[in-house]
Structure 1
Amino acid sequence: MYLNGKLNTGVSGRKKILLSISLTFLTYFFICYHSENKKYEIINEIFNDLDMHPSRIWHSAKVIDYDNKILNHFSFFDKLSIYTQIGVQHTNAFLNSGDEIIPGKITYKDRKGKIHSPEIVSVQSKETKEVIGNRTIIHAAKCHYIISMPLISSDNKTAIMQIDEYCEGGSGSIYILEKIDGKWKVVEEILQWIS
């Protein structure tokens, strides 16, 4: 519609722009969305490929403490996906929802090929329980871990994960991992803290 010889898009023009941006974001989100099962699958692959055998994992997933240089490993398109995933992590942390590690979802194989699932704990304890068949075996707990859910590239070949390890002392690092020849490899480890 023309008003005084000029095109007047008014409110409907702004609505179209907002709708276009919203549709673009939603389309992008659904293309880059990684299901919870996919994230657990990648955690399991990472633990197996890196030969990590955590016996105890803290029940709440950690929000990754990142800085922008970490994102240099990602393309522009993947950076948008990572920022979206970070936003979801922060929203879940703020709302206290969606941040619980689900027991039995994380598994790893020992050197003999036996599948284990770490105990998911909500309090620090000096012992850990392992259920084998009808028996519960109690071991002395040496360490427990706090992990983040991975931030994953759209092609599922690059991931960022923070792992904090609490033993006698403790440390926390952000791992940038790439899937090379079918196996996850650490391409960069960024120490966040140590005690």
Structure 2
Amino acid sequence: MRIIFIILFICLLFANCKKNNSEFNNSEIKEINDIVKIVILEDSLNVLKSESESKMFCENLIKLNIYIPEKRKENEPIHPLSPSFNNVSIENLIYYKIENKMFFTNTDSLFLLKQNLKPNELKIENKIIKKLNVTSKKIELEKKKIGKSYNYYEMTIPAFSKDNQKAYLELNHYCGNLCGSGKSIYLKKVNGKWKIVDKRRTWIS
């Protein structure tokens, strides 16, 4: 197993030398924005301008860091990355099961890791923004800094399977020092449309 991840790591380093795949193409942007809409609707996020007491939604999606766990000796405990709520190991993605079936496959491994080469942020499309109460991370951190109340969602850029039929993202909700939570969301294309097929809690404050 360790040999597999060493090979993947070498491949990733090689891919880093190639900058021609570092941007999102039009097809990827469309898929990402379709997923944003589905998550807002299916997860019942109260972020639409038309809703009462609507929360805020960050207009920029942030990159999810998919990392390869450090090698460790047998029986040595795993030391996770220091707190950033948008880190996930490739092992957790590849070995995650839904209804006793692997969600991603081993052939998705390298494709998922190569998505780390994408830009750190992606702004959601304007026609979605017009319907939402949008904010930015910078604005919300300023509120926190001066002791002003805040209540917003931040979503990661989805990570896709090689066949573009499955996706994974993380959604964080920040609403105060002792108020907040995060979840991982698994999506699958059903009859050509994205659908949430599983969710799990990643953190809570």
Q: TM-score per shorter chain, which class?
A: 0.5 to 0.7
Instruction: Give the distance between the partners of 2:171 and 2:128, measured in 1 at CA.
Output: 16
Residue 185 in 1 paired to residue 195 in 2?
A: yes
Aligned partner letter, 1:61: I
Identity %: 24
Residues 186 and 53 (structure 1), Cα distance of their counterparts in 2 relative to 1, 3 Å cut: same
CA contact (8 A) 2:180 2:204 kept: yes
* C-alpha RMSD of the superposition: 3.5
Counterpart in the other structure of 1:74: 104
Residues 42 and 71 (structure 1), Cα distance of their counterparts in 2 relative to 1, 3 Å cut: same
**158, 166, 177: which one pairs with 1:150?**
158
Larger Rg: 1
Aligned partner letter, 1:35: F
Residues 49 and 171 (structure 1), Cα distance of their counterparts in 2 relative to 1, 3 Å cut: same
- State the shift of 1:151 in Å: 0.7
Instruction: Give the distance between the partners of 1:33 and 1:179, measured in 2 at CA.
Output: 24
Instruction: Give the distance between the partners of 1:106 and 1:76, measured in 2 at CA.
Output: 36
Counterpart in the other structure of 1:138: none
Kindly report which structure 2 residues correspond to 1:129-168, keeping only aligned pairs within 5 A, or say none. Answer: 143-167=151-175
Counterpart in the other structure of 1:41: 30
- State the shift of 1:56 in Å: 2.4
Aligned partner letter, 2:204: I
SS of residue matched to 2:199: strand
Aligned partner letter, 2:169: M
Counterpart in the other structure of 1:83: 113
Instruction: Give the distance between the partners of 2:203 and 2:195, measured in 1 at CA.
Output: 22
CA contact (8 A) 1:58 1:144 kept: no
Counterpart in the other structure of 1:105: 125
Aligned partner letter, 1:180: V
Aligned residues: 141
Instruction: Give the distance between the partners of 2:186 and 2:109, measured in 1 at CA.
Output: 14
Counterpart in the other structure of 1:119: 134
Give the TM-score normalised by structure 1.
Answer: 0.56
Q: Which runs of 5+ in 2 are unaligned?
A: 1-9, 48-55, 65-85, 96-102, 144-148
SS of residue matched to 2:87: coil
- State the shift of 1:172 in Å: 0.8
Residues 44 and 118 (structure 1), Cα distance of their counterparts in 2 relative to 1, 3 Å cut: farther
Residue 172 in 1 paired to residue 172 in 2?
A: no
Aligned partner letter, 2:107: F
Q: Which runs of 5+ in 1 are unaligned?
A: 1-20, 90-97, 110-114, 127-140
